[in-house]
Structure 1
């Protein structure tokens, strides 16, 4: 893993150097050239930003598509409703994000002052991890939270974060989930699991929620 990370950093460093010497009409060139009153991102900041955008924009969407596909494979009645009414797809994507989202825990935060959560006081300067998966199944907010319900009233979920931490790519992720899943099940209406759901292997991660693979029969 360390070697792969080092290789990725070397690749991004060379790519950033190339964009600095010959900028193009793309986001990385814009980041390289961006300035605010003469203040630019440092080379390490540029690499960190590029790394974040690349990983956050890829792995999360992969997991949204995989987890959403699994949810539909396990709930044929929901597939039938979507086949009968394509206008339900945007709501379905929101429900996939709540029901079994691609990110199970938020990135680490830390307290700048003592914070009370229930009967516990978290001291200043402590790291905190927020469980997005638990928030999506909170019975105080969602009726029958363990049920996949694509007609559920829309509420502001936490799958894409909140406030200044709201995901920059949220509109694109929603669109990708909608397009890929709707086309997949329209083209392969006979799609079904090739193994028992209990045999599926989930990736070991404290942050991401995704399958190692999703074996299916196409007909």
Structure 2
């Protein structure tokens, strides 16, 4: 039996800064049996912390995303329906093919002026105040506005949707997680019906309702709900954290901030280094061994869960020298912040576009930007990596 490492024993410090723990684990080996901390205490899984091993595992077809293959059905799938992150080929291939017909690179690029317009409007409201919580004033409202407009979510629903979605991806308890998914399922069902009745209107959800493959295949009502769920959740929760983590990293590394201010051509490097250094997703969602296999010589029994550490892998010194240094000039190619393989994040181009726009415009219009106190608490759980608030002044 492999030794089980109880991550809960590292206390709240692990939530605030998991990197020293991941460093210790990598030094012991690339794969470990761990017991998760709150709110998932007592759940055991294999955790992959090495970069090479994580990259290979993300693309390994023997590690299934569909837990039904091993006889498990989870709360989100029961209430929401099957979605991309919980599907394997050929189902995943079919679903991804249908959504990519509607969610194209051209569509993302067409959003560029609107993203700039929203950013300008938010900063026009924020900057006269002299200080603000960056999350509430910019990092949250920008991506939620973009994805809600893209999908046709009414403006009056967005505040409530934010509260529900945050609880779903970073639950504070099992009961609150269940309630959040019940509310999400009810809301998405109503939203899809509203968009269906409204007829063609140019938004992505309306297009998904009417998208038809060459063989006449279309998304079922349950699949539409699952698609709307993953687009709404992944389309804003991760980008909130990307923007916030990027600004926080720059403000706590003044030499890098000065370099960026002096040369805005480094902006792409700043976003990519943020993704590597403090990416918005700490660990990929669970995979399950569809058959017995080995990862770096460690035997994994059929049916066992495997968690792939994106944060841990992206600080592996075997791939990124001096990994705890935030460096805009670093070659970040190969980072795993958006995953790898067939489950590579569909929304990565949109997230990058929003982060570049937000950070560039903020720095240009707030030359005296600095921290105005410590950040808020880090999100619970081991899925999302971000803070609830970031006080800044200028």
When normalised by structure 1's length, the TM-score is 0.92
Cα distance between partner residues in 1 of 2:210 and 2:272: 36
1:190 pairs with 347, 354, 368, which one?
368
Cα distance between partner residues in 2 of 1:209 and 1:180: 19
2:330 pairs with 152, 158, 169, which one?
152
Q: Secondary structure at the match of 2:299?
A: strand
Q: Which residue of the partner structure matches residue 165 of structure 1? A: 343
* 2:238 counterpart of 1:60: yes
1:18 pairs with 194, 198, 221, which one?
194
| 1:114 Cα deviation after fit | 2.2
User: Unaligned stretches of 5+ in structure 2?
Assistant: 1-175
Which moved further from structure 2: 169-178 or 135-144?
169-178
Alignment of 1:1-219 (within 5 A): 1=176, 2-21=178-197, 22-36=199-213, 37-196=215-374, 200-218=376-394
Cα distance between partner residues in 2 of 1:120 and 1:158: 22
Q: Secondary structure at the match of 1:151?
A: coil
Cα distance between partner residues in 1 of 2:303 and 2:347: 30
* 1:15–1:129 Cα change, 3 Å: same
Aligned length, in residue pairs = 216
Cα distance between partner residues in 2 of 1:10 and 1:48: 12
Q: What per-residue deviation string (whole Å, max 9, x for no partner) do you get for residues 187-214 of structure 1?
A: 11222222246xx410112200010111
Cα pair 2:196 2:209 within 8 Å, conserved: yes
Cα distance between partner residues in 2 of 1:65 and 1:4: 25
Which has the higher relative contact order, 1 or 2, with Cα contacts under 8 A spaced 6 or more apart?
2
| 1:128 Cα deviation after fit | 0.9
User: Unaligned stretches of 5+ in structure 1?
Assistant: none
Which moved further from structure 2: 18-27 or 44-53?
18-27
Q: Secondary structure at the match of 1:164?
A: helix
| 1:177 Cα deviation after fit | 0.9
* 1:196–1:18 Cα change, 3 Å: closer
Cα distance between partner residues in 2 of 1:186 and 1:78: 15
Cα pair 2:276 2:332 within 8 Å, conserved: no
Cα distance between partner residues in 1 of 2:303 and 2:181: 29
Aligned CA RMSD, in angstroms, stands at 1.5
Q: Secondary structure at the match of 1:158?
A: coil
| 1:25 Cα deviation after fit | 1.6
Cα pair 2:239 2:280 within 8 Å, conserved: yes
Cα distance between partner residues in 2 of 1:154 and 1:7: 39
Q: Secondary structure at the match of 1:141?
A: coil
